[in-house]
Chain A
Amino acid sequence: MSKFKKKKSGELPAISTASLPDIVFMLLFFFMVATVMRQNTLMIENKLPFADQIEKLDKKDLVMYIYAGKPSSRYRASAGSTARIQLNDKFAAVEDIKAFILAERTAKREELIPFLTTALKVDGDTNMGLVGDIKKELREVQALKINYTTRQGKASSNLK
């Protein structure tokens, strides 16, 4: 009988926090691996539309990004409220796209150039006129592989 009673001490034992660093480190490594540092600071609103017939773009270094949308509220005073194109970190005109694509191409190794894809990250609330202009420019510089970047979701949720 006394054997059992001995173990029961009145106070609660303190919870050991020795493994806390390990847990935190585990989380830290997860986020370090999962993090993609944003290459461009967005100066436009970028609410992508939804689609479900999507393909993943897995080779990040072979993707060129073209953003378009209405300038976000910080830049509205200087850039106006109509939809604009953003290349790298600044606003651009439609004519700048050609130069941008050519510059991106020279930065890549020659054998990779045919695999370059242009990702169009266009805000859902943009007129097709601007998108059509972008596509026309891309055709003229033979950047024919494009990808309309979208979010995963039902197509019908675009119509609200």
Chain B
Amino acid sequence: MARRSAPEVNAGSMADIAFLLLIFFLVTTTIETDSGISRKLPPPQEEDIVPPVLKEKNIFVVELNKNNDLLVEESPMQLEELREAAVKFLDNGGGVGDEACDYCQGDRSTSSSDNPTKAVISLRNNRETNYATYIAVQNELVAAYTTLRNREAERLFGKSFVQMEKDLKDVNYSGNKEALKEDIKKIQFMFPEKLSEAEPKK
């Protein structure tokens, strides 16, 4: 018997099959938004511990009332001004002697914070406050820290803090990662994120 050549498989419907799969994946795809503001909660408090006494001038009180109004140091403020006000407070460096801050570029006013390592931002909100407003305020406060950290990183290491953190995560980074980690720690020490949140009021 003569050898017959194998019949060719008709690939005409291949496109249809592929389209079917494509449409399935198109429909099921949800591009997840998994990015956000990272925060660390304080550990649970023991009852009998007395909180450390802080100087009044080292606390920057940000309050959100139930009507979503922003009160900074007991006076109303627009959200757009908050970042600048927080930067000004943190960067004031009004301390003398042991508490002096040699890298601050602020006004050195005696009524504002002594040193960024001492300065605390206290965020109070009401139970009725809107979550979106709260996130907006959190965002501005984090931005204030980032602005200052970027400035110092630029001055000391010639690149921004954001870039340093990005490099640390980058697997293709060519420089020394251990040294970079130390540098990041140094900046974080200069401007520690001291953001305290009071229990929401009823």
User: Is residue B48 contacting chain A, with contact meaning CB distance below 8 A?
Assistant: no
From known contacts A28-B21, A132-B200, A144-B40, infer whether A49 and B131 are also in contact, taking CB-CB under 8 Å: yes
Q: In the complex, are the beta carbons of A158 and B22 less than 8 A apart?
A: no
**Residue contact B36 to A139, C-beta cutoff 8 Å:** no
A98 to chain B, nearest CB (A): 12
Report yes or no: B200 in contact with A142, Cβ–Cβ below 8 A. Answer: no
* Complex partner residue of B139 from A25, A124, A155, CB under 8 angstroms: A155
Q: Which residues of A contact B131 (CB under 8 A)?
A: 49, 122-128, 131
Name A128's contact: one of B19, B39, B126 (CB within 8 Å).
Answer: B126
Shortest Cβ distance from A25 into B: residue: B18
Count, chain A residues at interface, CB 8 A? 59
Chain B residues with CB under 8 A of A155: 79, 135-136, 139-140, 143
* Contact call A24/B143, Cβ cutoff below 8 A: no
Q: Please tell me if B28 contacts chain A, counting CB pairs below 8 Å.
A: yes
Q: A24-B15, A36-B30, A132-B199 given as contacts; is B39 within 8 A of A148 (CB)? A: yes
B67 at the interface (CB under 8 A from A): no
A24 to B14, CA, bound (A): 10
Q: Mark A17-34, 1 if CB is under 8 A from B, else 0.
A: 100110011011001101
A31, B39: Cβ atoms closer than 8 Å: no
Report Cα–Cα, A28/B14, bound state, in Å.
13
Query: Is there a chain B Cβ closer than 8 Å to A151's Cβ?
Result: yes
Q: Which residues of A sit under 8 angstroms from B42, Cβ to Cβ?
A: 139, 144
Within the complex, which residue of B34, B40, B139 is in contact with A53, where a contact is CB–CB below 8 Å?
B139
Mask, B24-48, CB within 8 Å of A = 1, is: 0110111111111111111110000
Interface string of A121-154 (1 = CB under 8 A from B): 0111111110110011011101111111111100
The residues of A that contact B18 with a CB separation of less than 8 Å are 21, 24-25, 28
A7 at the interface (CB under 8 A from B): no
Task: Determine whether the beta carbon of B34 is less than 8 Å from that of A63.
Answer: yes
A102 contacts the other chain (CB 8 A): no
**A54 is contacted by which of B36, B40, B127, B140 (Cβ under 8 Å)?**
B36
Contacts of A25 in B (CB 8 A): 18
Top-3 shortest CB links A-B: A129-B127, A124-B132, A31-B25
Residues of A at under 8 Å CB distance from B?
Answer: 17, 20-21, 24-25, 27-28, 31-32, 34-38, 48-57, 60, 63, 117, 119-120, 122-129, 131-132, 135-136, 138-140, 142-152, 155-156, 158-159
15 contacts between A and B (CB under 8 A): A28-B25, A36-B29, A38-B32, A49-B132, A53-B142, A57-B35, A119-B36, A128-B128, A139-B43, A146-B38, A146-B39, A146-B40, A149-B36, A150-B33, A152-B35
Known: A120-B36, A127-B127. 20 other contacts (CB 8 A): A24-B15, A31-B26, A35-B29, A38-B30, A49-B135, A51-B136, A51-B138, A52-B139, A53-B142, A54-B35, A54-B36, A55-B35, A125-B131, A129-B200, A139-B43, A143-B41, A146-B41, A147-B38, A148-B36, A158-B132
- Give the interface of B toward A (CB within 8 A): 11, 14-15, 18-19, 21-22, 25-26, 28-44, 64, 68, 79-80, 125-136, 138-140, 142-143, 146, 199-200
